Structure 1
Amino acid sequence: MKIQGDGVGLYVEEDGKGTPILFIHEFGGTWSSWEPQMRYFARRYRCITYAARGYPPSDVPETPDAYSQDLAVSDAIAVLNGLGIEKAHIVGLSMGGFTALHLGLRHADRCLSLTIAGAGYGCEPGREEFFRNVSLTVADNFEKLGAKDFARIYGSGASRVQFQNKDPRGWAEFVARLATHSTTGAALTMRGVQARRPSFYELEAELKEMKVPSLIMNGDEDDHCLQPGFYLKRILPAAGLAVLPKTGHTLNLEEPQLFNTILGEFLAQVDAGCWGVRDPRARPDQVMKTLDTDQI
């Protein structure tokens, strides 16, 4: 089905019954990248996934101003509204993880929880300009070479080879799917969303006040997401952190069983009301307690 988001048709699929989960894909993926999660969680949740604007079969606007982080957030809300969903668990990977976080900041009342996986590129202090320049180069390459020819190059990045080594067939499917992306949509998404979104560190004051239950997930070989992930763990009041060993960027496809297990435990705790804010006694300056302050 298609749902209208700010004049742009968004392709949506759903399955299952129960509490809703909205899955938001990464730049290198699309709605079908969540298939291992849709199959697993649809047994007991209402699972929704959609193709972002610029990703067929969603519409592909051809103007740069039709792509931004703000519009990505608006599109996610449009999907929830179009399906009549008041609140949902939000699960995002990479580009989708940024959207999940911004949903928590701007629409906390619509979020049962946030899973922010593989998110952080461009956030490391001192590396913002480097990331923007690389993003613009990627956009240029999509236009010059086309998605079909550039897919294997992009899919062989430093945080994708882990997937290739563990699961060559799964990686080949990932690259084949990437090769079908819209050249225009990929380039404009990279320029309008990836290269212009704010760093987590710029949002610190807002993040400290955001109490939506949150799970941060990163691969330990996804180098440029690790430090931003640690930062979110320290700043977000109700955040937990999971680091998957010997794992790169494409978490949900590279380690689907482990990803589903960790996510499932998180959702169960949130649904039971057992995932709260960090205990104020867990102060980093008091690793070993020396005074019985409760008696003072």
Structure 2
Amino acid sequence: MNLNAPAFSSFAHDGLDLFYFDEGDPEGQPVLLIHGFASSALVNWVHPGWLKTLGEAGYRVIAIDNRGHGRSDKPRDQEAYRPWVMAEDAAALLDHLRIPQAHVMGYSMGARISVFLALNHPDRVRSLVLGGLGSGMTDGVGDWDPIADALMAPSLDDVSHERGRMFRAFADQTKSDREALAACIRGSRDLVSEDDMGRIEAPTLIGVGTKDDIAGSPQKLAALMPHATALDIPGRDHMLAVGDRVFKKAVLEFYEEL
């Protein structure tokens, strides 16, 4: 297994070619990873060490490049990015790999997609890890229109909005399709009702950095769910919490207890 550059494959769903990797122990319990906005399977899961961590622990590690991201096709219609639409991409990948049920871990936008997957296909989700998104799942995570505007600005120098600058710089760094990302940020913000969160029976771990000013409270979200635990990731903001050692250790312990 090459932990630095896993081999990607593709499958067709909803008229799109979607890319993914399938690494680790083929006989291990499958973990499906769903990355965040403006990221990719490589940026979200390989570079911060999740593939290495989970692979060495004996899991089968699968990660999708969400539509609009990484190597996957990039529609420009914001309706193509509703979170339940992207959740169907994830379910279709499990179908493609003939995996009846998996642990599902999502970060930020990927956490929202993971929740829609759990709501619409509860039998497919063995457990949930929701990173980088707490009570913002139900309450909203602020005004994201300036981020779409920042993505479409001529250059980073033209962006003054602080969060817009952060995401524009990230999109430039990852050489992303900014028009597709602008459609994505406009289309993928649907909230989940508190009642729906309460319907999710899968064991859930919710990890959020203590300096994350986007996610909202993990404790508040966990309190809505029947089998959820909140995790504070000390001293980490939204961008840095994803690869934190405390988060990785907690996830491995969570899986061992299931």
Give the TM bin, normalised by the shorter chain: 0.7 to 0.9
- Partner residue, 2:195: 205
- 1:20 aligns to 2:30 (yes or no): yes
Counterparts of 1:31 and 1:87, CA distance in 2: 20
- 1:264 aligns to 2:255 (yes or no): no
Paired residues, number: 241
- Partner residue, 1:142: 151
**Structure 2: gaps of 5 or more residues:** 1-8
1:254-293 to 2 correspondence within 5 Å?
A: 255=244, 257-270=245-258
Q: State the AA in 2 paired with 1:193.
A: S
Two-structure CA RMSD over aligned residues (Å): 2.6
Shift of 1:206: 2.4
2:101 to 59, 83, 87: 87
Provide the identity percentage.
Answer: 28
1:57-96 to 2 correspondence within 5 Å?
A: 57-96=71-110
8 Å CA contact 1:147–1:178 kept in 2: the answer is no
Shift of 1:79: 1.2
8 Å CA contact 1:28–1:178 kept in 2: the answer is no
- Partner residue, 2:178: 183
Counterparts of 2:179 and 2:150, CA distance in 1: 11
Shift of 1:48: 0.6
- Partner residue, 2:222: 233
Shift of 1:243: 0.4
The verdict on how the C-alpha distance between 1:97 and 1:123 changes in structure 2, with shifts beyond 3 A counting, is: closer
- Partner residue, 1:100: 114
Q: Which has the higher helix share?
A: 1
8 Å CA contact 2:34–2:105 kept in 1: the answer is yes
8 Å CA contact 2:41–2:65 kept in 1: the answer is yes
Deviations 1:266-294 (A, max 9, x none): 01111xxxxxxxxxxxxxxxxxxxxxxxx
8 Å CA contact 2:111–2:131 kept in 1: the answer is yes
The verdict on how the C-alpha distance between 1:154 and 1:10 changes in structure 2, with shifts beyond 3 A counting, is: farther
SS in 2 for 1:116: strand
Q: State the AA in 2 paired with 1:21.
A: V
The verdict on how the C-alpha distance between 1:184 and 1:175 changes in structure 2, with shifts beyond 3 A counting, is: closer
- Partner residue, 2:6: none
**Structure 1: gaps of 5 or more residues:** 161-173, 271-296
Shift of 1:27: 0.7
Counterparts of 1:19 and 1:123, CA distance in 2: 27
Shift of 1:122: 4.8
8 Å CA contact 1:11–1:50 kept in 2: the answer is yes
Q: TM-score of the superposition, structure 1-length normalised?
A: 0.74
Counterparts of 1:28 and 1:178, CA distance in 2: 10
Q: TM-score of the superposition, structure 2-length normalised?
A: 0.84
Question: If you compute each CA radius of gyration, which structure gives the higher value, 1 or 2?
Answer: 1
SS in 2 for 1:97: helix
